[in-house]
Structure 1
């Protein structure tokens, strides 16, 4: 047999193993609310090739190959345990077992590592939590996709309704079509049917009521059987407490804004300050996509090196609030054609850092340029550190943070030398450190941070909603602080 045939046979064997993993992963998700991960990347509803690629990606960040032959025994061990709702990273289990097996079998090691999710320690599955989307634009539809994807056993977040303004004939059909197909993010993974008579969209078995209203005061959510719901306002029309309080009607318990909040509305960046949310807080903001992109790595750098001052320059994809062609706009430059120009504009991300990181005394300034790409942006974070360091040390630190720290769902790391913006469409992280572009000299560090300003941000929104709803399940092995 030739070397090429050996390689192909090995690939076919790994395909077979990945194929055998799919029903196990699906059953754990549906029946026990267990999400199986590999280095923070979910394997739920993934294809054979996607599972293999997810394992392969570990080489970029961990520096060594991870094979399904290594992770399969840990997945099989999970099926023998009395697991409760949780997220379990079999990639981390395999990696840790390599270096610290402690003389245990895979079964014994796995049982010890996930003990907090088993037996008397496990979280009991609840009845789920109703969610309402107010608005159904770019972020609203992506949040809807994520909610439907994560419906699992039905005991987590349940998208019950979408509130929109009436748009004329076949309005619901057109909205369903926009959910089904997206020019940037591709096809919806599943089936969608529309019942115009009852004004419902059913997506992967999730029945979603489409409610038409011009104002929050027009909606009686209890009439649709909705109770104690979390309402996600993705219109951006109201950003202060007074305006957002209009949503607090019978059936709605909390309001989450997908834009920077004003006044005393808490701006939350999941992974950084979500644990500061007070149990009785009913209105909060998920800040902006750029704030979510820069705050986690800023915290990672401040914790390790200290930060004296910094500047962030964002090169941001164009958005729906700009014009296709030159036309009137309340903002002077944003009135110029978005697909034809680079447009200098303002960003509130730098000033929002103080809300998310109140202990950071460093002054952070910021500016932004909108460019003619439809999605994925990059933030260039220029920092003066409190001590001198090296490029190698900074990269080792950020690689470690992306793999094992409490920020591993927020910060990703890539060392590919030919990475470009479109490579990060669909990234679920708040930002991705580009190792090749990183510059460090003495006490000055410049980080290049890619981020999918649509999908990555939507994932951060979902994490905040999971947290405040009580269905944010613990991850095992536990991240290293």
Structure 2
């Protein structure tokens, strides 16, 4: 089980804590929480239990005080505990991230959600206390730290410090990824009408940004957003081609984004809407991107799990300037808080490899062998989605992986989960296989490792025995080693 620590128990930290407890308690364990020390333990428990935006928490969180916040020291920052059911989570108050004793509590991953330690140098200070991986819950400031958005560019363990960017970026990036992959984007701009945040003022007061100095609940406040630029960190070919502005509006959460994009292909509202409908049904975007044709307003989407909800009724083509597609409205349900989404697939157990098996198994095939087998489920790991899936398919999932690259841990999880569901239902799975590339065979190997108890060597050996031309490359073997370590725990 993955042990998680939280540094910064404000909006993002508390909502991440709620989500982890309510939806992922079997996969992650909160091992320690570091707070600002501005309240005793009872105060932090109260703010978890009662939330103006997301209402009363479904679980009861209790507190146990060891010492008052002003009595903590660098050597002993423990204030007390939060208790949820049988779990007892240490609550700390240490202002220096280098002095937080993550190692003492066995923490693997730290969610850095203070909003203060957003440079690589500051975030890496958590390593001194024993943290192995640090996720910055905001756009990173300077340095060479990767930005990763679930469903767009999945983290593959390249570094021990990464950024999950902002809530708006998590909403925009999957939508831009779909538009760009289907139609190509020449340039784009966005405007977000965004709920106000706690760096604004309730009453007019001092602020270096004189617009943000004004009362948040009484004004529409024009300001900047880094969401467009952050999106191009996840889709590098759009750098310099995407920008945006923001309007902070008097709602506490539930935001909307208007995207205007010049597309490379002539298209229509119907074609663009269909692209989003198909993406919402793709396992890659499950829980990330949804669509709606209902006449919704901002309060209707508060509390929804998805990063983005595309409103199909609000798109409009800007004639006669094809291929301009403007005013694609996207509802952003998560406001400033629910940025950390942990996604896992379920465990299974049955596999067959080879074109000689055509009922209830996994076929690692070439496209010319596809139609003869009565396949109902296809996994496509090509870099580009070359053609529409056949109508006879019941499930089609595109997990794009570049030539010579490896599927990400999330793609291994998703792919093996799809195989499991199909095999249990007695359906044949077609894993799209291309000579000279080990992308698809590596997903089958992950399935063998995870569900059949194979070692990496045995899984690779079986695949190469059945399909000698399906060579799993070193980059994929290294990713599989990490995958095997994860599922052996």
Classify the TM-score, shorter chain: 0.5 to 0.7
Confirm whether residue 183 of structure 1 aligns to residue 52 of structure 2: yes
Aligned to 1:206: 87
* Secondary structure of the structure 2 residue equivalent to 1:185: coil
1:371-390 to structure 2, matched below 5 A, reads 371-390=249-268
**Rounded Cα–Cα distance in structure 1 between residues aligned with 2:61 and 2:152:** 36
Aligned to 1:346: 224
**Rounded Cα–Cα distance in structure 1 between residues aligned with 2:172 and 2:98:** 36
* Secondary structure of the structure 1 residue equivalent to 2:323: strand
Deviations 1:160-188 (A, max 9, x none): 111012225xx111110100011110111
Aligned residue pairs, count: 342
**Rounded Cα–Cα distance in structure 1 between residues aligned with 2:120 and 2:36:** 22
Q: Does the 8 Å CA contact 1:139/1:454 hold for their aligned counterparts?
A: no
1:146-225 to structure 2, matched below 5 A, reads 146-153=19-26, 156-168=27-39, 171-197=40-66, 199-223=80-104
1:306-321 to structure 2, matched below 5 A, reads 306-321=184-199
* Secondary structure of the structure 2 residue equivalent to 1:323: coil
The equivalent position to 1:265 in structure 2, one of 127, 137, 145, is: 145
Shift in Å, 1:440: 2.4
Q: Does the 8 Å CA contact 2:99/2:129 hold for their aligned counterparts?
A: no
Provide runs of 4+ in structure 1 moved above 6 Å: 467-472, 478-481
Alpha carbons of 1:355 and 1:347: their partners in 2 closer, same or farther (altered >3 Å)?
same
Q: Does the 8 Å CA contact 1:131/1:158 hold for their aligned counterparts?
A: yes
1:52-451 to structure 2, matched below 5 A, reads 128-153=1-26, 156-168=27-39, 171-197=40-66, 199-223=80-104, 226-263=105-142, 264-275=144-155, 277=156, 279-360=157-238, 363-416=241-294, 418-441=295-318, 442-446=322-326, 447-451=328-332
**Rounded Cα–Cα distance in structure 2 between residues aligned with 1:249 and 1:351:** 31
Q: Does the 8 Å CA contact 2:255/2:335 hold for their aligned counterparts?
A: no
Confirm whether residue 452 of structure 1 aligns to residue 321 of structure 2: no
Aligned to 2:394: none
Aligned to 1:58: none
Q: Does the 8 Å CA contact 1:339/1:372 hold for their aligned counterparts?
A: yes
Deviations 1:421-448 (A, max 9, x none): 0011011111110011111243121210
Q: Does the 8 Å CA contact 1:295/1:353 hold for their aligned counterparts?
A: yes
When you count helix as a share of all residues, which structure comes out higher?
1
Shift in Å, 1:280: 4.8
* Secondary structure of the structure 2 residue equivalent to 1:428: coil
**Rounded Cα–Cα distance in structure 2 between residues aligned with 1:408 and 1:362:** 29
Q: Which has the higher contact order (CA 8 A, sep 6+)?
A: 1
* Secondary structure of the structure 1 residue equivalent to 2:324: strand
Q: Does the 8 Å CA contact 2:37/2:93 hold for their aligned counterparts?
A: yes
* Secondary structure of the structure 1 residue equivalent to 2:290: strand
Shift in Å, 1:362: 6.6
Q: Does the 8 Å CA contact 2:149/2:173 hold for their aligned counterparts?
A: yes
Deviations 1:126-170 (A, max 9, x none): xx12111001111111100111123444xx2111111012225xx
Shift in Å, 1:395: 1.0
Deviations 1:91-141 (A, max 9, x none): xxxxxxxxxxxxxxxxxxxxxxxxxxxxxxxxxxxxx12111001111111
Alpha carbons of 1:270 and 1:422: their partners in 2 closer, same or farther (altered >3 Å)?
same
Aligned to 1:477: 418
Q: Does the 8 Å CA contact 1:136/1:234 hold for their aligned counterparts?
A: yes
Shift in Å, 1:330: 2.4
**Rounded Cα–Cα distance in structure 2 between residues aligned with 1:398 and 1:250:** 44
Alpha carbons of 1:243 and 1:152: their partners in 2 closer, same or farther (altered >3 Å)?
closer
Aligned to 1:116: none
Q: Does the 8 Å CA contact 2:32/2:107 hold for their aligned counterparts?
A: no
* Secondary structure of the structure 1 residue equivalent to 2:276: helix
Alpha carbons of 1:239 and 1:216: their partners in 2 closer, same or farther (altered >3 Å)?
same
